[in-house]
Amino acid sequence: MTILPVKSEKLRILWAFLWRDIHNEMSYRLAFFLELFGILPAVLLFFFLSKLFGDMIPGPLSEYGGKYFPFVLIGIAAQNYLSLSLRSFASSIRESQVSGTLEAVLTTPVPLPVFLLGSSLYPFVLNAFRILIYLVVGNLFFGAGLDWRQWPALLVVLMLTVTAISGLGIFSASFTVLFKKGDPLNWVFSVGSWLLGGVYYPVSVLPGWLQKISDFIPMTHTLESFRLILLGHRDLYAVAGHLFALGLWSLMVLPLSLVCFRYALNQARIKGNLGHY
Amino acid sequence: MERELSGHDKFIVCNHLNKSFGQRTVLREVTFEVRGGDILALVGRNGAGKTTLLKILATLITPTDGMVLIGGEDPSRNQLRVKRMIGFVSSEERSFYWRLTGRQNLQFFASLHGINGKEGRKRIDRLLDAIGLEGKGDLRFREYSTGMKQALGIARAMLHDPPVLLLDEPTRSLSPDVARKARQLFHDMAKREGKAILIASHNLSELEGLADHVAILHQGTIRALGDMPTLHQQAGLSGHGTLEALFDHFTREV
């Protein structure tokens, strides 16, 4: 194994998880390829649809440059990132239950947060790489006209988004430990984000009471931040309110989700079904 | 700072241990100790509670009540310390990543124990040789035979050189020569390195030559515990009786 040149024990463990998953996933070549380019057809679909609508849509999209294609390109990329990353916690636990490796890993002295982060690191990194590809392709070949000058601000938004959805993902993984299959939280959150988070249309077209609900969804704040930075040429300060919402969400949900996951593991240890699937 | 363990410490202590799953009681008042340098054989029929007991010691199952100490540490209070002290061989062969090679699997688990770099590679090579997998480390795990998979499980349990080994039917699928190597390895680890070994097996004849003490577990209760001469005495059998005879005697329904 190529060892990461770091002294921190926890970072070495995270690297070991990432290394394991890269080797494992790359051995499924077709699946790896499909995963990387799977949403390209959706991007094409919306590119042609936006041609149908015409280049400029005034009103709700004016804040984001007025063009539908770049607006929806960011929506699809972010929605894809969030839903896949959210699922990654539960699916990695599920996979390790089915493959029988969960018990083996849990007999090693890996702290729980490191185990959870390590199990989902690969999907997070892969998905970040994917959305980068889509946005670059959209820019170069479809004239999306994204403004990359504020890329450090994008990184800050991405990091806060990751911590915000990690809490939900860990809740989701707790369901998998307890009930093995079936995860209502993931479904509710994905559908809620898709409908109310502003993926395909701006939140401003929703009725007032739905807009209020959408304020409680991390997707809304992630998308608003991405679009304002990439399309509206704004900087980090202009999206501070959205960053605050994502940060607050992380602070509230992440510690609670860790407590919940620990509870789920303890229950599984009491029932003796940690490795069952 | 980890506690140093001396050869005379009681590495594994089980005191009045009980475990129930709902209404079903699996272990009742199980009490025993294993000292450093000792091998305790745990024998019992299918469903006697052997795997549950080993999984409790390996922190994978929580007991209903009773006390467990591993190297003086209570797993319910200090799980990470206990995990550093145990090597667990599961009877489950699915516990590896099938698309990685045997060596890659061991490298991954070694990293989780904080063993990396040259030291890790050396240790993995040494263990692969010791367990009869020399030259086979770079095959994918899915290409391994059942016995090779089990041998890799033994190597994994020893990666971090733990003072306590919990072995659940470790030689079940091994070929006779590799099983012999494994037994020699267990013996050396106990006698030369002072490790405490708890081994559950159905192969009574192999345990006879290996174990210092035997615990006969029947329907969740330890029916007999001691070295072979003591058990013979308790059973009223001649001193040359086999473990099988002792097992039949102590598990006979009254």
CB contact set of A150 (below 8 Å; sequence gap of 6+): A229, A230, A233, A234, A235, A236
Per-residue pLDDT of A90-148, as tens digits, reads 999 988 988 889 999 999 999 999 999 999 999 989 888 888 888 888 888 888 888 88
**Nearest chain B alpha carbon to A103:** B60
Q: Which residues pair with B19 in a beta bridge?
A: B27
Report whether B56 contacts B30 (CB < 8 A). Answer: no
| Option in A23, A101, A266 nearest B95 (CB) | A101
**Nearest chain B alpha carbon to A96:** B95
**Nearest chain B alpha carbon to A104:** B95
Instruction: Please check whether residue B125 touches A, CB under 8 A.
Output: no
Count structural domains, chain B: 1
Q: Please judge whether B61 and A104 are an interchain contact, meaning their C-beta atoms are less than 8 angstroms apart.
A: no
Question: In CATH, what number is assigned to the domain containing residue B75?
Answer: 3.40.50.300
Q: What is the reported pLDDT for B60?
A: 95
CA distance A36 to chain B (A): 20
CA distance B242 to chain A (A): 34
Residue B55 counted as domain residue: yes
Q: What residues in B contact A103, CB-CB < 8 Å?
A: 55, 60, 90, 92, 95
Q: What is the reported pLDDT for A186?
A: 78
Residue B132 counted as domain residue: no
For chain B, percent of residues with pLDDT exceeding 90: 72
Ranges under pLDDT 50 in chain A: 2-3
**Nearest chain B alpha carbon to A27:** B99
* Strand, coil or helix: B66: strand
Residue B236 counted as domain residue: yes
Backbone angles phi, psi at B94, to 5 degrees: -80, 5
**For the whole model, what pTM was predicted?**
0.89
Residue B161 counted as domain residue: no
Q: What is the reported pLDDT for A144?
A: 83
Residue B220 lies in domain: 10-96+166-251
Q: Please judge whether B111 and A272 are an interchain contact, meaning their C-beta atoms are less than 8 angstroms apart.
A: no
Place of tokens 């839903």: A83
Per-residue pLDDT of B89-117, as tens digits, reads 998 778 999 999 999 999 999 999 999 88
> Cα–Cα distance between A42 and A50 in angstroms, integer?
12
Report whether A123 contacts A84 (CB < 8 A). Answer: yes
In this predicted model, which residue has the larger pLDDT, B86 or B234? B86
Quick one: which of B36, B23, B34 has its CA closest to B57? B34
* Strand, coil or helix: A186: helix
**Nearest chain A alpha carbon to B88:** A107
Is pLDDT of B146 > 50? yes
ipTM of this model?
Answer: 0.91
Max alpha carbon distance in chain B (Å)? 58
Query: 3-state SS of chain A: helix, strand, coil percent to 5?
Result: 80, 0, 20
Is pLDDT of B51 > 60? yes
CA distance B232 to chain A (A): 35
Q: Please judge whether B112 and A23 are an interchain contact, meaning their C-beta atoms are less than 8 angstroms apart.
A: no
What average pLDDT does this structure show over B212-234? Answer: 93
Q: What residues in A contact B58, CB-CB < 8 Å?
A: 107
Residue B135 counted as domain residue: no
Q: What is the reported pLDDT for B3?
A: 44
In total, the C-beta contacts within 8 angstroms joining chain A to chain B are 94
| Option in B21, B52, B97 nearest A101 (CB) | B97
Name the DSSP class of A111. Answer: -
